[in-house]
Structure 1
């Protein structure tokens, strides 16, 4: 009989320990859910309405480009070598620029080794302005881009009208900026 009581006490203690640990895990999961759903992480592209910072760059055609040159409706694509999503978006961006027929309305910012980007430069140069940049270059910082690919539609006053990583980001601006 003393063995049965000892086993029951041990099982009861283990059940209480299990209950306490389960409660702790559930509480931590709730905390993490609140953190994740609270928007703690910022999008890796500029927010609509954000003013584009000052920069100076030179296109592959030798044209100087500054923030003041960013016209309303300019479509900007940021791409990097070794980036699989960039390899998907870059041809779509080039096709969009080619269909528009106005290279002044498109700017492709290519990050990486220029030797590795030769094919992309050859494809984009006839249909868009092309700037070679490093990840931390002035043009990348000016647009507040932290991930590749990023597509940005420039609005009035050199402000971001819309941004994202899908081609649809270039289609419509925020209603507040459209007026």
Structure 2
């Protein structure tokens, strides 16, 4: 993703400071995105796509087509952003193994989205559906493990059920978007 942000920014003859001003953030954040040390939150990613006039799929590495499709792009970015934020919130207190597995799941989902864009849709949708289902179960296990750890140390992981239900809704929304894109 980082190379694509820099590449499109330079093609548009924009500086990091130009983008930072338009996004109302510090130029350091843009630099971190371009280096790959952090990623933009979904709201900033949507705004970044609008400024750079490119698709979120392209910036995320899901597609090699930089064409900007406003409504579809926003829906996908919002959903993927919600999924990623839910997973991050769910795994804040998780152990390193849980966090590594979660990262693998996210990478697999991005890979499946890329396959979908290459028109191998039917096979990838079935696998995506099962991956989304197992992802939810895995993250539930991580949260339960973190909850047990927090109870032992006197802290309680708040909003576990809310985070899980938000994650499940986000994953279902992502599935619906993918299925609609089949038509």
Normalising by structure 2, we get a TM-score of: 0.22
Please say which structure displays the higher CA radius of gyration: 1
Larger RCO, structure (CA 8 Å, separation 6 or more):
1
Compare the two structures and name the one with the higher strand fraction.
1
